[in-house]
Chains A and B, each alone.
Chain A
């Protein structure tokens, strides 16, 4: 199901090519931007009409707002921020696995009787299905008639003036207190640029005002599961680990060999970040050029 203003046919066709058997597009100009009450009305209506067994959405700011609201209105069970989904061979139920207690445990959750079984899934927790141009499926476009009046009005949108957000980034380079001063962050930003990565930060860096809050990873910031996480001068407090230890590949750069981040890393470089990081940037740029 896709919600929006008149949606490009190529985007809807891509959903088929990536594995969907049918696509329902609910279209109206008033659905151009996320509007909880209107989106919830569209999703709720479709669930009541088509009675799906399972409803899955991305665990983005949109998905994590829309899904809990709709789950209440349609009496459905909902599991947040799953990293693994499976079907129980015996019962046919959706098995939803998610990290909890700051990543200390994984819990598998099922919804025995309520339908649909709803889940939000953490971005990048699974690779997207490959495109197959030969796949065929039905695309149905529905007009969103009788949308409710919304009690929340969108006045403006202020895009981040810097690099892309960390939440939906495939790669993240995070900077910790080891960077010492705000000015020094430039060398980490260079590495992030070379890798095509978003720039993240620990709580200490944000609390010192060196980077703004949207960069913060961890318990009081964002939880991310990128394909690549590189921590520069990040010690690896439990609060920070809670926000990134489900990353697919973790690289740590720290002068302290006892830094906690090394314990969850795949590759660790023990050295002075001011010496190491510019070399890594140089090497990555070279590699990209060769490729």
Chain B
């Protein structure tokens, strides 16, 4: 199987700090990692390749430093990688990002499967996977929690939805966005790391995949961020000590009264 995995480099969320004065995110000193939810897509791709043969190509769009994320994917066992990196791509929203990634997928040639993480932990939109499918006019199945079987130009998957899961049978090629339930990601091997260090990661600009410059970057993006602010933490926690039996009774009483005040009981 020929599989393409678009991934994103994101700041490690648990170490993100906010500048109290400006209300902006302090990116200095924050570690950049592979979007944790993309690791499930990489793992799924590697398992399918290991079982059926083929090739797994990782793709990313971002600043030159995003090459590190691709090298990490290579160290896990991906076969090759390419990075879309140019100022023309900077500031792309999900519409423009999925456009550029779709163009890069096209440049890579025929593939059977495009596997994406459900969303990135920084932007948190989950829109790029379905967007890529739309640009390429491919079917897409989102929230995939299991691959049931692959064969004869089709893939059968479980899609986790609100009240249960759908068993869906999709024609290949298609796009899948996967969730954590699908597989536990492997760790990079020593040999993988050595290979990743020296592997060639081509850097593509807007001339490499054939793209319409009007659809790239900030100027090509339909949406604009007009304001960024910190959520106002208006919550004042009313703390109830419940260390002994009377405390527990009183806390239970207050809990019920609190719910009534909020019209929840």
Contacts and interface: CB of A to CB of B under 8 A. Distances in A.
A225 interface: no
Nearest to A37: B139
Given A239-B13, A262-B237, A279 B248 contact: yes
Contacts, number: 280
Contacts of B133: 69
A26 B14 CA distance: 45
Contact of A105 (B99, B142, B228, B243): B228
Contacts of B66: none
Question: Which secondary structure dominates where chain B touches chain A?
Answer: mixed
B162 A167 contact: yes
A61 B222 contact: no
Contacts of A103: 231
Interface string B212-224: 0000000001111
A268 B237 contact: yes
Nearest to B160: A214
A23 interface: no
Interface size range on B against A: 35 or more
Interface stretch (A12-20, A78-86, A136-144, A172-180): A78-86
B33 interface: no
Given A95-B226, A155-B167, A270-B241, A104 B259 contact: no
Interface stretch (A1-9, A110-118, A182-190): A110-118
Contacts of B14: 237-239
B141 A152 contact: yes
Interface in B221-254: 221-231, 233, 235-243, 245, 247-249, 251-254
B145 interface: yes
A111 B223 contact: yes
Contacts of A151: 139, 170-171, 174
A154 B264 contact: no
Contacts of B142: 61, 64-65
Interface string A202-227: 00000000001110100111010001
B231 A271 contact: no
B255 interface: yes
A276 B98 contact: no
A113 B220 CA distance: 11
Nearest to B140: A36
A266 B237 contact: yes
Contacts of B258: 251, 266-267
Interface size range on A against B: 35 or more
8 contacts: A61-B160, A67-B127, A68-B128, A68-B131, A104-B230, A152-B169, A228-B259, A276-B242
Interface of B: 11, 13-14, 16, 18, 23, 25, 36-37, 93-95, 98-99, 121-131, 133-135, 139-143, 145, 156, 158-171, 174, 179-181, 221-231, 233, 235-243, 245, 247-249, 251-256, 258-260, 262, 264-265
Interface of A: 33, 36-37, 40, 60-62, 64-65, 67-73, 75-81, 95, 99-114, 150-160, 164-165, 167-168, 171, 195, 212-214, 216, 219-221, 223, 227-228, 237-239, 242, 245, 249-252, 257, 262-272, 275-276, 279-280, 282-284, 286-288, 291
* 7 A-B pairs with least C-beta separation: A271-B242, A77-B222, A72-B134, A114-B222, A80-B125, A68-B127, A213-B181
Given A73-B134, A220-B37, A238-B13, 7 more contacts: A69-B130, A80-B94, A101-B16, A105-B25, A239-B14, A271-B242, A283-B253
